[in-house]
Amino acid sequence: MKQLLKLLLSFGLVAVFGGMILESVGIPLPSEIILPFAGYLVYQGKAGFWAAVLVGTLGGTVGSLLAYGLGLWGGRPLLERYGRYILIREEELRRAERWFARYGAEAVFFGRLLPAVRTYISFPPGITRMRLPLFTIYTLAGSLIWSVVLTYAGVILGPRWESLRRLFDLLDVLIVVLVLGGVIYFFRRRRQGRGAGH
């Protein structure tokens, strides 16, 4: 988190734009920090509110379109081949395709408003070949609402931004613990799978 904050402090809205692209393309950078920081820039008078919202919205939309493209051109074969390593089964993939075929627009819109889910919500529409104009409209709408709410939260938190750094230090520790736990779980599952195969 400290490194992310340093980048945001150094490059301002350019870093906000880049960070939102990366988050939306599947790299778990928390927009819950990126967008409030954009609001902090507004509080400092270094950016306009709607400029910050626009940057966040466009960054999220560009990243989502990239993720959509990955799902469209490589997602299905990649998941069929490697999905078992991340515990995705063929039946789950088919169920997701059926679900997005029926509720795709709503899933994209509300998915953009859910922490964690928003990072990966753009792959299934690409895999299921959801119509690109529809995907783009609902992604823009969801990203806009998310950007307005979190940027405004950053404006309100502006006077207390420095005191939040201690919270970010705790989040760093939590993230390391979660990543290590995930790695251990992953290798245990693979080992169990190999044992069952014998």
**171 assigned to some structural domain:** no
Q: Which of 67, 68, 62 is nearest to 129 (CA)?
A: 68
Digits of tens for pLDDT over the chain (198 positions)? 455 566 666 667 888 999 899 888 877 777 888 888 889 889 988 889 999 999 999 999 999 998 888 888 877 666 566 555 544 556 655 655 666 667 767 888 887 877 767 777 888 888 888 889 999 999 999 999 999 988 998 888 877 766 655 555 555 455 556 656 655 765 566 566 555 555
**112 assigned to some structural domain:** yes
**135 assigned to some structural domain:** yes
Indicate the number of domains in the chain: 1
- Do residues 38 and 153 touch, judged by C-beta distance below 8 A? no
Domain span holding position 21: 2-160
**167 assigned to some structural domain:** no
**Global pTM value:** 0.70
**194 assigned to some structural domain:** no
CA distances 19 to 12, 14, 25, 31, 96, Å, are 11, 9, 10, 8, 28
- Do residues 58 and 171 touch, judged by C-beta distance below 8 A? no
